[in-house]
Amino acid sequence: MLKPLIEVRHVKASSGKIRAIAASAVLAGSLVGITGSGAAQAAPASLTLNYTCPFPLIGTQQISVRIQTDIPPTIGVGEQTPEIIVNTVTTVPDTATQGMALVGAKTLEGDALADSTIAAPGITLPVKVPAPLEKTNVPASGTFEVKATGKAPALTFTQPGSAKITVGNILLKLAPKDAAGGLTGLGEFDAPCTQVPGQNNLLATFQITDGSSGGDTQAPSAPGTPSVTAKTANSVSLTWGASTDNVGVAGYDVYSGTTLVASATGTSTQVANLTPGTQYSFTVKAKDAAGNASPASPPVAVTTEQGTTEPPPGNPPPPECGKIDSPGATTYACTYMSGFANAAKLGGAAIVNDPEQRPVLTNVAIRVRSEPPLITTDTDFQFVAPLRTRSTFLTFGFMPTVATMEMTQVGTGKLTASSNTGNGEMKVTATTKMNVRIYDAIVNGTPLDVGENCRMSQPIELTVGGGPPDYTNVLGGGVLRGSITYPPFRGCGVTENLDPVFTAAISGKGNDIKMTQGAVCMPGASTPPCVPPTPRR
């Protein structure tokens, strides 16, 4: 069970202090709504903020948070405000969905906690309010939404003046679970999200009045029924009849259910960021300068256009994707790897698994284990066929030599990625053994019969490693670097022993290798596309 994240403090009133403190809470995602329960004269306010969050497997990601709140524009001294209800909807991006699929997650649960601050006459206080996540099914791919609801106690102020609410950083506490309801290899983990600097984080302002003077308390009339003037797959254009007010209408707010989706100063607007082929119901409320809100207009129902689905670039995973003998893994998938292996004595490098010459697929079997703050991904990987490349070198610095190099994996390789959820650091190491054979050699334009068994006397020990920024995460891949020692050759030559020639020309230490892992592809999924990466020198 998740530990509670609530931290609501009650302060004894003295010299303008707040008796009970409450503020906004936000959940990382695309849409956050906060509404004052029963606040007939509440004034909607909205704010969009960007955050960076460290996540297991996928590394640090930037998220956008839209916050909406209904806070009364005026609150009397000693008057208790309505309880604040926190409603949140988070859109989880594709990358996070892939990460959860890798560990076999079928549902997502957890909590969100925002750092907020109330600054009122005589006091400035930090406030934390929790928003528990609803248990949500995790799809096989694509984005999905997570809802959450939280509440905070009422406010009571003892001094008149201006007050404001600002929003700070966010802490997410997440628990992906498998089909049986148990924790996955990720366990429960925290993702502390940091607000990107330089943003306006003012959520709302309001006035605390002493009740000595009156004000405008009359709300505008309800707007006319909205009508749809245009629609696309992702937007709807609306217009409605004007409201009237004893002083004057300041603007209009458009709602989908209880969620504020657009604001306008006139009697028309466009609602954007909608989902294709989805039915919506919209209502409109008018507001005046004093913050009085009208009753809602009658609703209008509309279904967005279906839109078009563009095929992803690249290719779907091949049929052999994920076919690797590795019992007990949570995920079976595939990727491509390519790169350059240097031959120091020859002063050149051979391309490994050339993406232009029918590259060989790499199957992977993934397990995840959690030892907070470290989350470690253990991956078995296996090339489905030998890696072959045709390369040209100047042997001994003057003889043009062309040969085919064949690298055959011995057993299964291991890739380990450790991610620190506390500071976002990640380290990746991959190891495997490869038998190396040379054939079809041509020296100075003349074929050289090296035989069928011209190979290095023992498998090469291949170890490469990396981390950010060159290696993004296990899902996205990236660059891994290392050094190889080439063993002596044996079995080279048919009519004469060529072992000493190849050993002198190639074997030895200090041979750099630079491999690039492509994105991980899921069997039967269309994203991400299986594209061999371009090797980097």
Query: What would the pLDDT profile of 487-522 be if each residue is shown by its tens digit?
Result: 999 999 998 999 998 899 899 999 999 999 998 887
Fold of 222-305: Immunoglobulin-like (2.60.40)
Q: What local confidence, expressed as pLDDT, does residue 397 receive? A: 53
For the chain, percent of residues with pLDDT exceeding 70: 82
Distance CA 131, CA 29 (A): 13
Does residue 303 carry a pLDDT above 70? yes
Q: What local confidence, expressed as pLDDT, does residue 16 receive? A: 34
Amino acid at 502: F
Q: Say whether 222-305 and 1-212 share the same fold.
A: yes
Q: What local confidence, expressed as pLDDT, does residue 9 receive? A: 32
Interior/surface letters 386-422, b for 16+ CB within 10 angstroms, e for the rest: ebbbebebebeeeeebbbebbbbbeebbebebbbebe
Interior/surface letters 264-275, b for 16+ CB within 10 angstroms, e for the rest: beebebebeebe
Angle at 349 between CA 345 and CA 437, to 5 degrees: 80
Q: Where do the domains of the chain lie?
A: 1-212, 222-305, 331-517
Residues for the chain: how many in total?
Answer: 537
The verdict on pTM exceeding 0.75 is no
Q: What local confidence, expressed as pLDDT, does residue 37 receive? A: 35
Q: What local confidence, expressed as pLDDT, does residue 17 receive? A: 33
Torsion from C-alpha of 193, 197, 199, 201, nearest 10 degrees: 50
Question: Do the beta carbons of residue 113 and residue 130 sit within 8 Å?
Answer: yes
Does residue 394 carry a pLDDT above 80? no
Other CB atoms within a 10 A radius of the CB of residue 311 amount to 8
Mean pLDDT of the chain: 80
Angle at 392 between CA 387 and CA 396, to 5 degrees: 120
Q: What local confidence, expressed as pLDDT, does residue 384 receive? A: 95
Q: 22 or 358: whose pLDDT is higher?
A: 358
Does residue 392 carry a pLDDT above 80? no
Name the nearest CA neighbour of 293 among 524, 74, 103, 61.
Answer: 74
- Give 281's contacts (C-beta < 8 A, 6+ positions apart): 256, 257, 299, 300, 301
CATH 2.60.40 for the 1-212 domain, yes or no:
yes
Does residue 5 carry a pLDDT above 70? no
Interior/surface letters 358-374, b for 16+ CB within 10 angstroms, e for the rest: ebbbbbbbbbbebeeee
Query: pLDDT for 239-267, tens place per residue?
Result: 999 999 988 887 888 899 988 888 787 89
Question: Do the beta carbons of residue 231 and residue 270 sit within 8 Å?
Answer: no
Residue recorded with tokens 């082929």: 277
Does residue 25 carry a pLDDT above 60? no
Q: What local confidence, expressed as pLDDT, does residue 42 receive? A: 56
Query: Model confidence at 312, in pLDDT bands (50, 70, 90)?
Result: very low
